[in-house]
Amino acid sequence: MFRSEPIGAPGVYFRPDPPSRGLRPERMDVCGFVGIAPRGPSRVPELPEGWRREDGPFVRQWINGTFPTRRTIAVPVDSFDDYKRQFGGFEGPGNLPYAVEAFFEQGGRRAWISRIVHDMGGSNTNFHATAVGVVDGAVTANGEAFEFVARNEGRWGNRLRAALGYNLRPLQIKAVDLSSVTVDIGEPEPVGSLLRLRFPGDVYQLRFVDRVIHDRMAGRRNRRLEFDVPLPAAPEAVEVVEGELIVDDGAGAREVFHRLGLSSRHPRWVASIVCYDSEFVYPGSAWSDSELSPEQAHRLPIAAVLPPLKRHPQPWGGSETAITDEQPPQFGGGRDCYQDLVHEDFFDARWHPGELNPGSGICSFADHKEISSLVVPDLYCADPLGDIDTSDEPVSLASGEFEECVHVELPPVDEPEPTPVNPLCLNPRLGDDLRTIMELQNRLVQFADQTRDVVVLLDVPPGLTRHQVFDWRSQFRSSYAACYWPWLQAARNDDDRDRLIRINPSAVAAGIIAARELSFGVSHGPANCISRAVINVDEPLSEAQHDQLHPMGINVYLKERDGVRLTAARTLSRDPSLRQLSVRRLMILLVRVLQRQTHWMVFEPNNRRLWRDVRRMLHNFLADLYRSGVFKGSTEEEAFFVRCDEHTNPRPMVDAGKLIAEIGVAPAEPLEFIVLRITRDGDSTLVSEI
């Protein structure tokens, strides 16, 4: 029996359930995406081990380079709307938003996103290219501007707006003198609270609580709040001043922080709350450990109200956003640094397999607990999308009354040139560029081979000749990689690009993999599915070409009457036993389950009883998989075996503290070919056999 406390007097005691020693399948439908976005978490500080929120804001230490930063950090999203809120829409030059949208359109339910920014080396780049804005309504103790900094780099931060307001709450006082007020023990005002005191003649002054003294003598339960500066006279009333901060990202999302303290000694110090809870801004380092005061004590309370908005739609079709005619932008200085990106930013040469912490680029997914597929849609740029300029407003010539038509000579309009990510542009038709693409994709495959926990989905470069496709395929031989061809065409009504967009076929495949996993399980081949929201293939293929590509392990999309169909799900392995993607994913599932759910065996007595428990646990888990159709064989004995006894664990192994269990499985491979035999009988009738 498991008890939470010793048995004492007769009564009812809580008996928790014993810890489970069974094995459960791990989630295999989650995909990781690495690419270019106009906004999103990057250069995030790594706090020291044991750091607590109550230790205070870390902005000053961070901006001074005290804390190291992670250039790339993985963030989960559960819908494309969630992605747009955190990473922006289609206004950037990358394929990442189109890839993520395609994943969710196919039926995916969860993805992890890693935004790529340029590796600046060892320089202090924590606030590189980030927008900065000043907020009115507060006076800092050291005379510094009450400013905020955008959470990450990009032009998106220039649309930020923030407002600070105040709320008053009356304080019930029992006694007052020139240095303190006495309140009931139930009043929760901590050190650092700001009080507004009203004197005769409607004169107001502000004081911070410098110390709190508890008085429990003679049955009294009081708290004495001592001021930092003595009072000129006894006040008539005392009120608590609390801040309220509103931050708007200019794209329809808003954050509101209530009951904020205005001193760094307050447990809800505004800088601390913003540091840890805001997704949009950091506090300025100049005042992060200072004190704030309202500009005018007698005008409180002041509600936090953002400036009025002039509505116009965002390029990605989101909520209408705000720009004012009367006032200049509150934030400025944010820049998009797409031109600084290089291919090496997708990798991390300083990361090595086996390290405790993930690295940057694709290495941000090292030893990840959820993802099973990896897509890198912006590894190279074969078809520059260009950056959408959203700074200018359309000019309307409409008026409130109808007049006679007039001809207006408009000045010539200079069309903005597209701003492709030049350092990432590679032309697959050129031999040198194609070799560079293959080297980059091989690095992705090497990462998957090293981690052995994820399958990387590759795109066959577009525009290749048949011989170039054969040469490209010959460079890969891993079962932890799968490739897809040709690229796909899709139309979007929620961006400003009035043309078909060429999207990565691997992104659509990732969504199909997730949908099949959720519907049928890991054993079903993620293929033979019509792609949703795909209009056409970029390069039509004939049946003869398809017959050549399929045996090579190239998963092909074909344009059919019902739509564009993914026809296969093979890996790039040369081993026939691992050529099916479902088989490799099944092996990853088994390894994940055994690695993550058998820690309870450590420090258990390594004897026959433990071996029996291990055999029973593994057999039950594999039997459940067998009943769901994961293995082939007419009986369990034909489908799998488990060995854990004195033969697999001889005395030298037991003395060394090792436990050896052998598992063998016969994975069920998806059906790929149906052979139909047609014969003609003597009476001229046709007979078909499958």
Q: Tell me what the pLDDT averaged over the chain comes to.
A: 85
Amino acid identity for residue 525 in this structure: G
Average pLDDT over residues 174-190: 86
| Structure-model confidence comparison of residues 481 and 680, the more confident one | 481
- What are the start-end ranges of the H helices in 4-43? none
Q: Which residues make Cβ contacts (< 8 Å) with residue 201, sequence separation at least 6?
A: none
Q: What is the pLDDT of residues 75-104, one digit of tens each?
A: 999 999 999 999 999 988 899 999 999 999
Q: How many CB atoms lie within 10 A of CB 231?
A: 17
| Structure-model confidence comparison of residues 398 and 454, the more confident one | 454
- The dihedral of CA 427, 429, 430, 436: what is its sign? positive
Q: What is the pLDDT of residues 620-665, one digit of tens each?
A: 999 999 999 999 999 999 999 999 999 999 999 999 999 999 999 9
Average pLDDT over residues 360-370: 93
Cis peptide before 486 (omega within 30 of 0): yes
Split at pLDDT 50, 70, 90, the class of 496 is confident
Q: Which two tokens stand for residue 613?
A: 């428990």
Split at pLDDT 50, 70, 90, the class of 682 is low
Contact 113, 74 (CB under 8 A): yes
Amino acid identity for residue 124 in this structure: N
Split at pLDDT 50, 70, 90, the class of 671 is low
Q: Could you tell me which of 318, 365, 326 has the C-alpha nearest to residue 346?
A: 365
For residue 672, the model assigns a pLDDT of 64
Q: Could you tell me which of 417, 533, 535 has the C-alpha nearest to residue 102?
A: 533
pLDDT of 142 strictly over 70: yes
pLDDT of 506 strictly over 80: yes
Split at pLDDT 50, 70, 90, the class of 426 is very high
Average pLDDT over residues 161-188: 88
For residue 317, the model assigns a pLDDT of 40
- What are the start-end ranges of the H helices in 25-108? 59-63, 80-87, 96-105
| Structure-model confidence comparison of residues 517 and 288, the more confident one | 517
Phi, psi (rounded to 5 degrees) for 355: -70, 150
Q: Percentage of residues in the chain with pLDDT exceeding 90?
A: 58
SS (H, E, C) 248-317: ECCCCCEEEEEEEECECCCCCEHHHHHHHHCCCEEECCCCCCCEEEECCHHHCCCCCCCCCCEEECCCCC
Q: In angstroms, rounded to a whole number, what is the distance separating the alpha carbons of residues 188 and 196?
A: 16
pLDDT of 383 strictly over 50: yes
Q: In angstroms, rounded to a whole number, what is the distance separating the alpha carbons of residues 576 and 546?
A: 19
Q: Which two tokens stand for residue 134?
A: 């000043």
Q: Which two tokens stand for residue 654?
A: 């037991």
For residue 669, the model assigns a pLDDT of 83
Split at pLDDT 50, 70, 90, the class of 386 is low
| Structure-model confidence comparison of residues 17 and 370, the more confident one | 370
For residue 41, the model assigns a pLDDT of 94
pLDDT of 514 strictly over 50: yes
Q: Could you tell me which of 94, 507, 500, 138 has the C-alpha nearest to residue 302?
A: 138
Q: Which two tokens stand for residue 649?
A: 């664990």
pLDDT of 264 strictly over 50: yes
Q: What is the pLDDT of residues 154-170, one digit of tens each?
A: 999 999 999 999 999 99
Q: How many CB atoms lie within 10 A of CB 419?
A: 17
Q: Could you tell me which of 484, 600, 611, 502 has the C-alpha nearest to residue 541?
A: 484
Q: What is the CA radius of gyration of the chain?
A: 32
Residue 427 CB-density burial (10 A; 0-12 exposed, 13-18 middle, 19+ buried)? middle
For residue 185, the model assigns a pLDDT of 78
- What are the start-end ranges of the H helices in 406-524? 431-451, 466-473, 505-520
Beta-sheet pairing, 455-459 with 373-375: parallel
Q: In angstroms, rounded to a whole number, what is the distance separating the alpha carbons of residues 529 and 147?
A: 52
Domains of the chain listed by start with CATH number: 21-30+70-118+336-387+418-597 (3.40.50.11780), 130-312+326-335 (no CATH), 601-690 (no CATH)
Q: What is the pLDDT of residues 290-337, one digit of tens each?
A: 889 898 887 888 888 786 654 444 443 443 444 444 567 899 999 999
Q: In angstroms, rounded to a whole number, what is the distance separating the alpha carbons of residues 267 and 269?
A: 6
For residue 398, the model assigns a pLDDT of 43
pLDDT of 686 strictly over 80: no
Q: In angstroms, rounded to a whole number, what is the distance separating the alpha carbons of residues 505 and 569?
A: 13
Contact 80, 29 (CB under 8 A): no
| Structure-model confidence comparison of residues 630 and 63, the more confident one | 630
Beta-sheet pairing, 254-260 with 203-215: unpaired
For residue 217, the model assigns a pLDDT of 56
Q: What is the pLDDT of residues 445-492, one digit of tens each?
A: 999 999 999 999 999 999 998 899 999 999 999 999 999 999 999 988
Amino acid identity for residue 274 in this structure: V
List 269's β-bridge partners, or say none.
261
Q: Residue 397: left if φ>0, alpha if ψ -120 to 50, beta else—which one? A: alpha
Average pLDDT over residues 335-353: 92
pLDDT of 220 strictly over 70: no
Contact 243, 260 (CB under 8 A): yes
Q: Could you tell me which of 202, 289, 304 has the C-alpha nearest to residue 247?
A: 304
Q: What is the pLDDT of residues 535-585, one digit of tens each?
A: 999 999 888 999 999 999 999 999 999 999 999 999 999 999 999 999 999
This prediction has a pTM of 0.86
Q: Could you tell me which of 455, 431, 472, 444 has the C-alpha nearest to residue 343?
A: 444
Beta strands in 321-436, from DSSP E residues, in sequence order: 321-323, 331-332, 373-375
pLDDT of 391 strictly over 70: no
Q: In angstroms, rounded to a whole number, what is the distance separating the alpha carbons of residues 33 and 460?
A: 17
Contact 280, 150 (CB under 8 A): yes
Q: Which residues make Cβ contacts (< 8 Å) with residue 96, sequence separation at least 6?
A: 33, 35, 36, 37, 87, 113, 377, 378
Q: In angstroms, rounded to a whole number, what is the distance separating the alpha carbons of residues 87 and 571?
A: 31
pLDDT of 344 strictly over 60: yes
| Structure-model confidence comparison of residues 96 and 62, the more confident one | 96
Top mean pLDDT of 135-139, 388-392, 572-576, 678-682 is at 572-576
For residue 418, the model assigns a pLDDT of 46
Q: Percentage of residues in the chain with pLDDT exceeding 70?
A: 85
Amino acid identity for residue 298 in this structure: H
Q: Could you tell me which of 351, 505, 366, 343 has the C-alpha nearest to residue 438?
A: 343
For residue 580, the model assigns a pLDDT of 94
Long-range contacts of 466-469 (CB under 8 A, 24+ apart): 466/545, 466/548, 468/428, 468/434, 469/549, 469/554
Beta-sheet pairing, 203-215 with 194-199: antiparallel
Contact 452, 480 (CB under 8 A): yes
Phi, psi (rounded to 5 degrees) for 344: -65, -20
For residue 311, the model assigns a pLDDT of 46
For residue 19, the model assigns a pLDDT of 56
For residue 101, the model assigns a pLDDT of 96
